[in-house]
Amino acid sequence: MPKPTVVSRKRAPKMNTVVKAPSRRKKSVYETRATYLDTTGWFADWLRGGVGPGASGETVSPRAAMGVAAYFAAVRNISEDVAKVPKKILEQMPDGSSMPRPEHALWWMIHDEPNPDMSSFTFFKTVTAHALGYHGGFAEIGRTRGGLVYALWPLDPTKVTPKRNAAKELVYEVRNAAGTESITLPARDVIHIQGLAYDGVTAYALSHIMRDAIGTAIAAQKFRGRFFKNSTVSSCILTYPGVLSPDAQKVLADTFHERHSQDNAWAPIVLEEGTTANVVATDGSKAQMIESQHFDVEEVCRMFRINPNKLQHWLRTTFSNVEESNIDHINDTIMPWWIVWEQELNRKIFMAEERGRFRVRNQVTGLLRGKLQDQADFSQKMIYAGVYNQDEVRSFYELPPLPNGKGAKHWIGVNMMSIEDYTKPVPAPPVAIAPVPTNPDPNNPAPQDGAPPGKRDNQMDAVREVGLESFCAHIQEQLKIHCERIANRTQKADFSRWLPGFWSKAQSETKEHLTLPILQCIMSIEAVRLGSRRISELKQRANDIATEFAEWMTDESKACMPALEWEYRALPLAIRLFERIFDDGTH
């Protein structure tokens, strides 16, 4: 509790008393500016580098701003999100594609260890955090005498000043910790990461230009702390009916404050000789403490262009739009910093003959994916339309190509044609006249090839399309059933004992459910290829493949626990099953 105010009734101050100040000569403007009295805060501004307290009365600096929870969370989240994606060196190929080059001399420095003291994640996080809070993030490029880059060292942004030399070239003055000595580095030897800059070089420091907003948040935070420290009591007025000397008033106020503050705030109050106490309390709801705290979070979000849910401010966020919010965070908040990093590194770490051929790239494809159901639908439609092949879809999910070029072939539905072809008249099929064999050998009859090769290819494409669609539907149905059973059982106490039996039952159900579609697909392939295997042999092969696939699918589902997203796993599984059947049909 703050110290109480002691009022003696017989010596109460008169409210209407007017005190006249002695007449003084009005000072000129020059005399006012020349005084050493810090009446306007000029001296404190000079010590702070020209930045004084704002309207809130709080002195705001980059370090003081980090005491605001929302500000700290924004700096941490953005810097960590920028640093967490792997950085790779890609080579631009003649056909326009890009290939990772782990053998490049700079790969280890960019991907794993920019310098012996820190990992890649720590380095990129640190410099990005400097860029967010100060006028820029800086790192010195270590070079050999031959000009080859071997390390990146972060610099203290408070010790770095970009400036122009006598030749109007951009250089960086770097001071030591004591500020007594400095060195000048050329621009080619400094990685400079900055946000919005008025001259394209020196960025705005948010703690400077937003000092009123940040200072208000600091002041509100201190007010809340003092409010609860004093047990929500602002002050207390002690009224004594008699006369107290100034010393007695001070003793009474100090004693009352000592006995009834902090841990003793709720102790009984005992007053003597007719002294009364009037507590002056502040209503937290009327002061709008909660509303002001929410507003402070939203102000910080505006500064950094970050979504409130990234600062754990879920006031207007729902689980139905959180995925779109995450993608928006990547595109609007993180992507500009990735671009700044990539362009700055590409400008300064490669040799002149390597520029344009090699570049640093953040591998962000996985973070830009949409909803899982949308991914599955999009991939399936692109494969069926022949736009993407399987390897191209796998590369989007950062998976390696299928072995032996199996995924390089494009697929397309055979029941589609252009409007022009549809309006054309269908020509009559030519009458095929079989040639009369000469000197026929009754022991070696001529083979009956059936359909010509081109037609057989079309028929096989139809089998592939129908087979994939059928397998995808059956597998999706099985996965959905399994996921629903696991979700309904997860919260029960016997879940761990129930799970092994469930997997055994799920494997047998999957085998039983897929055996007939597999047999139909095998028989279709056999018919197109004019195979000679018996139906009993085909049934046995279908049973073996179903058993093998059900076991493999169950093992993979166990490994994916608890994230059994049945929506997007059906298509890859169906492709794998069809490839297994197709390979078996070639033997």
For range 105-133, the mean pLDDT: 94
Give tens-digit pLDDT for 526-565.
776 665 667 777 788 888 888 888 887 777 776 665 545 5
pLDDT at 409 over 90: no
pLDDT at 224 over 70: yes
Most confident of 163-177, 293-307, 308-322: 163-177
Where is average pLDDT lowest: 55-69, 169-183, 497-511, 569-583? 569-583
Q: Percentage of the chain with pLDDT > 90?
A: 22
For range 74-97, the mean pLDDT: 89
Query: What band does 437 get if pLDDT is binned at 50, 70 and 90?
Result: very low
Cβ(7)–Cβ(240) below 8 Å: yes
Distance, CA of 517 to CA of 467 (rounded, Å): 8
| DSSP-based three-state secondary structure for 141 | strand
Give tens-digit pLDDT for 457-477.
666 677 777 777 777 777 777
Residue 64 vs residue 44, higher pLDDT: 64
pLDDT at 434 over 50: no
pLDDT at 211 over 90: no
pLDDT of residue 151: 95
Distance, CA of 195 to CA of 202 (rounded, Å): 9
For range 567-585, the mean pLDDT: 70
Residue 37 vs residue 335, higher pLDDT: 335
* 3-class SS shares of the chain: helix, strand, coil, % to 5: 50, 10, 40
Which positions ≥6 away from 377 have C-beta within 8 Å?
none
Domain ranges of the chain: 66-206+306-368, 451-585
Most confident of 4-18, 280-294, 535-549: 535-549
pLDDT at 13 over 50: no
pLDDT of residue 455: 55
Query: What band does 232 get if pLDDT is binned at 50, 70 and 90?
Result: low
Per the structure block, which two tokens stand in for 284?
């937290």
Distance, CA of 469 to CA of 473 (rounded, Å): 6
pTM: 0.56
Query: What band does 79 get if pLDDT is binned at 50, 70 and 90?
Result: very high
Cβ(139)–Cβ(117) below 8 Å: no
